């Protein structure tokens, strides 16, 4: 059944998407935010009359009915920088159904340090010799842990994950023992970050280019202070039709759909 009001489809799951949702709904712009987990719902004001929250994973089969039923006027993609599948789906949808699309991406953290190594992909990391005989802390998200199982015998791996059943299962399935797993919900303070690395005698940290909001700045500073090498897996490159890191530009995009 078609809903009466045209809406902005905000692709969420990030702290930036929560900020955008608050501003959009404060302007009384109808909006539906999509997230993949129930826990991500807590980022948003579920009592706002202008905001609907949709939980689940969208695919090529579901997307047409979603667009039609929710009467989508435009797509504001504020998904995580590494959530490339939903971005690809949203871009394809915008082209197929002639729906305006804007990618909002959190700013990159630009600081450079001699301790930091940038790699273009997980494949480059795993096929190289970066991890050999190192005590490695991984902060990569549970979806990226499986390929590290083959490295458990060649290095000493530790992992930090979100406190959820799916994250813990993924870590255990990838060969991490319970004493090499810690579950914490961000933000992580520099003091806690430093204490954890020192407690486990970490020699190498591997993370993603998640920006300040993802703790990248903190990790770079702690790595520099402790003299620990930091490997950053750079963001996947997508050909976004339109892209901004400016909140005001993202809000203007939404407002312009209802002029």
Please state which of the ranges 76-90, 126-140, 150-164, 212-226 shows the lowest mean pLDDT. Answer: 212-226
Cis peptide before 187 (omega within 30 of 0): yes
Tell me: do 80 and 126 sit in the same domain. no
Cα distances from 159 to residues 24, 125, 172, 198, 235, in angstroms, run 36, 16, 10, 14, 20
Highest mean pLDDT among 103-107, 108-112, 185-189, 190-194: 190-194
Longest dimension (CA), the chain: 60
Looking at residue 153, its pLDDT comes to: 95
* Average pLDDT estimate for 86-101: 97
**Are 71 and 130 in the same domain?**
no
pLDDT above 70 covers a percentage of the chain that reads 97
The residue range of the domain holding 160 is 116-233
Residue 125 domain-assigned?
yes
The domain tally of the chain equals 2
196 and 128 in a common domain: yes
Does residue 126 surpass a pLDDT of 90? yes
- Tens digits of per-residue pLDDT, 164-208? 899 999 999 999 999 999 999 888 999 999 999 999 999 999 999
- Token reading at 167: 């994250």
**CATH code for the domain in which residue 219 is found:** 3.40.50.1980
How many angstroms separate the CA atoms of 75 and 170, rounded? 31
Whether 68 and 139 share a structural domain: no
Q: State whether 92 and 11 are in the same domain.
A: yes
Lowest pLDDT segment from 1-10, 129-138, 206-215 = 1-10
Q: Are residues 165 and 98 in the same domain?
A: no
- Is 115's pLDDT higher than 80? no
Q: Which long-range contacts (CB under 8 A, 24 or more apart) does 218-223 make?
A: 218/187, 218/188, 218/189, 218/190, 218/193, 219/139, 219/193, 220/109, 220/111, 220/113, 220/115, 220/116, 221/190, 222/190, 222/193, 222/194, 222/197, 223/113, 223/115, 223/116
pLDDT at 2 > cutoff 50: no
Q: How confident is the model at residue 216 (pLDDT cuts 50, 70, 90)?
A: confident
Question: Residue 2 domain-assigned?
Answer: no
Q: Is pLDDT above 70 for 230?
A: yes
Answer yes or no: do 31 and 91 share one domain: yes
Mean pLDDT of 91-114: 87
Looking at the chain, the whole-number percentage of residues with pLDDT higher than 90 is 78
17, 53 in Cβ contact below 8 A? no
Average pLDDT along the chain: 92
pTM of this structure: 0.85
User: Do 100 and 131 fall within a single domain?
Assistant: no
- What tens digit of pLDDT does each residue of 20-79 get? 999 999 999 999 999 988 888 888 887 888 899 999 999 999 999 999 999 999 999 999
Residues, the chain: 259
Over range 127-143, report the average pLDDT.
96
**Matching residue, tokens 């979100």:** 162
């Amino acid at each position: 059944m078609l809903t009466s009001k045209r809406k902005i489809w905000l692709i969420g799951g990030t702290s930036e998407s929560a900020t955008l949702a608050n501003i959009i709904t404060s302007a009384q712009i109808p909006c539906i935010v999509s997230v993949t987990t129930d826990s991500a719902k807590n980022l948003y004001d579920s009592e706002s009359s202008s905001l609907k929250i949709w939980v689940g994973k969208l695919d090529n089969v579901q997307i047409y009915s979603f667009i039609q039923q929710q009467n989508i006027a435009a797509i504001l993609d504020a998904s995580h920088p590494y959530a490339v599948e939903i971005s690809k789906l949203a871009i394809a949808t915008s082209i197929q159904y002639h729906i305006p699309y804007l990618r909002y991406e959190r700013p990159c953290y630009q600081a450079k340090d001699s301790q930091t190594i940038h790699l273009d992909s997980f494949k480059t990391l795993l096929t190289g010799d970066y991890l050999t005989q190192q005590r490695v802390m991984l902060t990569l998200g549970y979806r990226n842990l499986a390929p590290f199982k083959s490295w458990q015998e060649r290095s000493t791996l530790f992992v930090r994950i979100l406190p959820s059943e799916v994250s813990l299962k993924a870590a255990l399935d990838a060969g991490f023992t319970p004493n090499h797993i810690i579950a914490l919900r961000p933000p992580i303070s520099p003091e806690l970050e430093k204490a954890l690395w020192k407690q486990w005698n970490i020699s190498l940290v591997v993370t993603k280019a998640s920006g300040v909001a993802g703790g990248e700045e903190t990790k770079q500073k702690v790595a520099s202070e402790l003299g620990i090498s930091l490997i950053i897996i750079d963001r996947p490159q997508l050909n976004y039709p339109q892209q901004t890191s400016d909140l005001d530009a993202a809000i203007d995009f939404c407002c312009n759909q209802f002029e």
